[in-house]
Structure 1
Amino acid sequence: MPSIPHCLLSLALGFLGLLGIILLCATTRDMEQPPPHKYGIVIDAGSSRTTLYVYKWPAGKENDTGIVSEQITCNVRGPGISSYAANLSGAGKSLKDCLNKAVKAIPSDRHAETPLYLGATAGMRLLSQTDPKATKGVLDSIATTLRSYRFDYQGARILTGNEEGVLGWVTANYLQENFVKCGLFGRWINPVKNTVGAMDLGGASTQISFVPTDKEIEDPEKEVSLRLYGQDYKVYTHSYLCYGIDQVKKKVLAKITSGSGYVSEITNPCMPRGYSTNHTQEFIFGSWCTENERAQDYSPKQTITFRGSSDFETCYRIVSSIFSFSPCNYTSCSFNNVYQPEVTGDFLAFAAFYYTVDFLKVRLKRNITSPNELREASSFICKMSFSELKEKAPNVSETRLVNYCTASAYIHILTTDGYKFNNQTFKNIAFQKKVGGSTIGWALGYMLNLTNAIPAENPATWKVQMLGAWAVLIVICILVIAAGALLFALSYHSGKNDSVL
């Protein structure tokens, strides 16, 4: 029969073991429940449309940068904010529907600390060139609306081209998990991968950004240094104002119209046979990008009728004429005497790059894996009549449908003669809209950069609590081992005394 000391020791061991299990379970539960999330709102005010994004990330950050994910996306109704130059109050009002959705998506107790930021891109950069007063009025209207919400208003301003480009690069690499990824047991790790380049094509500008193999970037204005997730990066980036898809269309129309004496009807080789449309001279030459093409007898209200002829070769020559490929005052250039190092590595091409190439691949069933295949696809679509195009894509709007010829020819020239992709490097371009459910663009990159400036929420306290719990558990384990050793010693001596008797 066990002795009383043995019974008491067994009870003590059982108690200590149960306490250890309870503490271990509680500690494990604490590990699986990180601090509450924080939220941020970024409004991307592009030249042709505005989009609101709500992001969230853990309050405890990883290497000074939050693990940010896209929660909701809301497309603002109507055109880009630059179109409100004559209706300033309408700029702010246009954002309210999407802002109200953000109010519902974010917990109310987080509203006051949720940063709210609007960044305007090339559309507003163009407006600032022609009408600074209207530009200020649009931004003031937006600021008034944003301040009326309980969010932490951070400002509404126009991004520089380099900011837009490099933040798009940050987004592309973050979504590819080149900076950080989730490893074993939910820990975030830095995979130390090579980065991908980013190519963005909007309505008023286009950007290219990548980490070059060259040790030195010849033009310091095109170098941006970043630190994300404990790593340093030097990124080449450049934005080409007036080379977004909408402005390219106007530049092409200006080339076609120039020298015609502003006749009332002109053949447009980039439009399909059987289609015609009217444009005023103001629509064509009213942009800062085309005003230098105006003739002396410029008449803003005069209407010109353009009739399509489906002439690919002529269209291609006209689109090429909006570029200047010489001279180059650096060791290497893209176009318009802009320095660019040799493209290297993989690239993500998004926005209008994606929409145009996706149309060629899906609607026309064309492979796009080389420059030649892209040119052949462009030739194929440019030679089609309007009725043939409608048969291929009956659900696509006419305005968008008739511009695919210009867009595809432009993308071919831009990527090959402009950015200097060849048969080998072109294969490294992936034309994508999203990665893992998140949109590729500058907005997410901005939120990632912004989280560097937001302090983590009580991360030290959380870690101390965790360490304290584990310390107690270690002490209990030591006590259990010591008690076990004591029990063994008592049993040994008890057995020895029994044998003597």
Structure 2
Amino acid sequence: MEKKAVKAPYTQLRESAKKNEKTKRSPAAVQIRLGLMSIGIFVAMAVYFFPNFISRLGDNKAIDQGSCQKYALMIDAGSTGSRIHVYRFHQCTHLEPVKLEEEELFAQTIPGLSAYADDPQQAAESLDVLLKGAVELVPKHLQHKTPIAVKATAGLRLLGQSKGDDILKSVRRHLETQYPFPIVGGEDGVAIMDGRDEGVFAWITVNFLLGNFDPSTIHRPTAAVLDLGGGSTQIVFEPDRLEDGTFPPLPDNDFKYVLKHEGRDYLLYQHSYLGYGLMEARKRMHQQVLQQTLADEDNLSHACLPRGLNWEYTKGNDPVKFMGQGSFADCLGVADSMLNKEKMCDYSPCSFDGIYQPPIADTFKQGPIYIFSYFHDRTIPLGLPVSFKLPELAQLTESVCSGAYLENVTDIALKDELLDRPEWCLDLSFIYRLLSFGYEIPDNRELTVAKKIDGVETGWCLGAAIAILGDNSLKDIV
């Protein structure tokens, strides 16, 4: 019985094959057979050249997931260099919240576009090293509907309108003729970014990464963001709502920013201080020292440089030699003077340089404060904790200015860095007074330094990428 059970299927198949032998040899059967062979060859080629074809064909979920995957490219054309961010998102329809899957690429090149003031085409080509990486990364079938934008910041603003416009026109032409990615946003797709948008996009980035736009966190305070670039600094925060849940009163001027995001309304205070980024602050503080010192001295005393250092500073074509004093208290005085705290204030109260700002101590009592960019680069390498209070920063600054910090450094690379760049005391003094004296952040408030949150760069780029991903023009691209 067991042998019959095994042989029966085989015997039936053999007999069936014999009965159909003649049928196979008929002309109609031959045509059918050739057709089936053609289909088999086509499927084999599809599997070879398009490995996901069969799985997507037989799996509706895979098709849905594939259509939900989106990319966005953002180029940050900053004052000291250009950087590209390639983000991969998940969003099946424009009605649902966008979810970040991964920042797939972050790359940078030095110098920035403003270094090519007299050669706009070379400025455009300087971005090729970044764009080629994006072409290799973004799947080819998505490239024609992956939006790109180039946002220039303070560097081009300081260059002047004519030269800045020439560079941006060259960049746009280069992108349109050499790369497959659509530029969205009209004229704003390749442009000098408004300082208002720079700060607000950074605010969106941080709060997006912290999960503060999730419906379940509707009553959680949003985070304030402070960004310190090379040419400018920005501050954005959502003042505390009144007891009845309504927005606090803010003057109807450029400092007020009404944002609609993820179906909710936010009333933000924001301002971008052009000329108060770290690189510009250095220049202003050196000029402040020159103005405070007698011009006929052979060696001009400089409170913010290491004690005993003879350092040449080039002012135009006339180099000036400074003699470092390493004085913490006097360097803070230089920073305070440069912040122009006494300037007339059109709208009261003011922070610095005559700019209106609701006091953080009174109007932003609960939310966290996040700082990044040069705030990070000038503090974390020296061992300042990721979360700190201003007295800790003051202590670190005093130690660096006096030289005591350098004496205790055992890391050779860090020691070389401190010796090679004599402006560490100046930088830290400016940062400390910008936060404490300029923005008037109380000593008891905790600040968090964040270069990345969950592996994603902070700053305005992610917020701007989310914005261009929602551009209406992308809906028409098949």
1:95-127 per-position Cα deviation (integer Å, ceiling 9, x unaligned): 101100000100011111111110011111111
Give the counterpart letter for 2:290 in structure 1.
T
Classify 1:337/1:113 alpha carbon distance in 2 versus 1 (closer, same or farther; 3 Å): same
> Greater shift after overlay, 72-81 or 49-58?
72-81
Aligned mates of 1:89, 1:33 — CA distance in 2: 40
Q: Aligned pair 1:199/2:226, yes or no?
A: yes
Aligned to 1:236: 269
Q: Aligned pair 1:111/2:143, yes or no?
A: yes
Q: For 1:74-223, what aligned pairs fall within 5 Å after superposition?
A: 74-128=106-160, 132-147=161-176, 148-154=178-184, 155-180=189-214, 190-192=216-218, 193-213=220-240, 215-223=248-256
Q: Aligned pair 1:419/2:445, yes or no?
A: no
Aligned to 1:381: 400
Give the counterpart letter for 2:221 in structure 1.
N
Classify 1:385/1:81 alpha carbon distance in 2 versus 1 (closer, same or farther; 3 Å): farther
1:378-429 per-position Cα deviation (integer Å, ceiling 9, x unaligned): 11111117963875562464587422211211122111221121123x22x2
Aligned mates of 1:332, 1:69 — CA distance in 2: 42
Gap regions ≥5 residues in structure 2: 1-57, 242-247
Give the counterpart letter for 1:266 in structure 2.
L
1:33-74 per-position Cα deviation (integer Å, ceiling 9, x unaligned): 463411111000111121101112224146454223443334
Aligned mates of 2:121, 2:294 — CA distance in 1: 40
Aligned mates of 2:427, 2:267 — CA distance in 1: 31
The answer to which structure, 1 or 2, has the higher relative contact order (CA under 8 A, 6+ apart) is 1
Aligned mates of 1:262, 1:35 — CA distance in 2: 71
Aligned mates of 2:312, 2:358 — CA distance in 1: 42
* Secondary structure of the structure 2 residue equivalent to 1:417: helix
* Secondary structure of the structure 1 residue equivalent to 2:148: strand
Deviation for aligned residue 1:315:
1.2
Deviation for aligned residue 1:449:
1.8
Aligned to 2:429: 409
Classify 1:400/1:133 alpha carbon distance in 2 versus 1 (closer, same or farther; 3 Å): farther
Give the counterpart letter for 2:284 in structure 1.
K
Deviation for aligned residue 1:249:
0.4
Deviation for aligned residue 1:157:
0.2
* Secondary structure of the structure 2 residue equivalent to 1:153: coil
* Secondary structure of the structure 2 residue equivalent to 1:41: strand
Classify 1:252/1:178 alpha carbon distance in 2 versus 1 (closer, same or farther; 3 Å): same
Aligned mates of 1:392, 1:249 — CA distance in 2: 26
Classify 1:408/1:42 alpha carbon distance in 2 versus 1 (closer, same or farther; 3 Å): same
Deviation for aligned residue 1:175:
0.5
1:210-260 per-position Cα deviation (integer Å, ceiling 9, x unaligned): 101261112521111222222111111001111100011000111112254
Q: For 1:33-72, what aligned pairs fall within 5 Å after superposition?
A: 33=65, 35-61=67-93, 63=95, 65-72=97-104
TM-score scaled by length of structure 2? 0.77
Give the counterpart letter for 1:156 in structure 2.
V
Aligned mates of 1:108, 1:66 — CA distance in 2: 22
Aligned to 1:310: 326
Deviation for aligned residue 1:356:
2.1
Deviation for aligned residue 1:133:
2.2
Q: How many residues align?
A: 399
* Secondary structure of the structure 1 residue equivalent to 2:183: strand
Aligned to 2:260: 227
Gap regions ≥5 residues in structure 1: 1-25, 181-188, 283-300, 459-501
Q: Aligned pair 1:268/2:302, yes or no?
A: yes
Aligned to 1:330: 347
Give the counterpart letter for 1:267 in structure 2.
S
TM-score scaled by length of structure 1? 0.73
Aligned mates of 1:133, 1:100 — CA distance in 2: 29
Classify 1:243/1:389 alpha carbon distance in 2 versus 1 (closer, same or farther; 3 Å): farther
Deviation for aligned residue 1:446:
0.6
* Secondary structure of the structure 2 residue equivalent to 1:68: strand
Q: For 1:351-362, what aligned pairs fall within 5 Å after superposition?
A: 351-361=373-383
Are the aligned partners of 1:65 and 1:451 in contact in 2 as well (CA < 8 Å)?
no
Deviation for aligned residue 1:28:
9.6
Cα RMSD of the aligned pairs, angstroms, is: 2.7
- Percent of matched pairs sharing the same residue: 28
* Secondary structure of the structure 2 residue equivalent to 1:394: helix
1:296-319 per-position Cα deviation (integer Å, ceiling 9, x unaligned): xxxxx1222233221212211111
Deviation for aligned residue 1:173:
0.2
Give the counterpart letter for 1:372 in structure 2.
P
* Secondary structure of the structure 1 residue equivalent to 2:266: strand
Aligned mates of 2:332, 2:265 — CA distance in 1: 42
* Secondary structure of the structure 2 residue equivalent to 1:142: helix
Are the aligned partners of 2:378 and 2:428 in contact in 1 as well (CA < 8 Å)?
yes
1:431-464 per-position Cα deviation (integer Å, ceiling 9, x unaligned): 1110001000111001112233248979xxxxxx
Give the counterpart letter for 2:318 in structure 1.
Q
Aligned to 2:456: 438
* Secondary structure of the structure 1 residue equivalent to 2:132: helix
Are the aligned partners of 2:225 and 2:237 in contact in 1 as well (CA < 8 Å)?
yes
Aligned mates of 1:30, 1:108 — CA distance in 2: 18
Classify 1:109/1:28 alpha carbon distance in 2 versus 1 (closer, same or farther; 3 Å): closer
Aligned mates of 1:413, 1:82 — CA distance in 2: 29
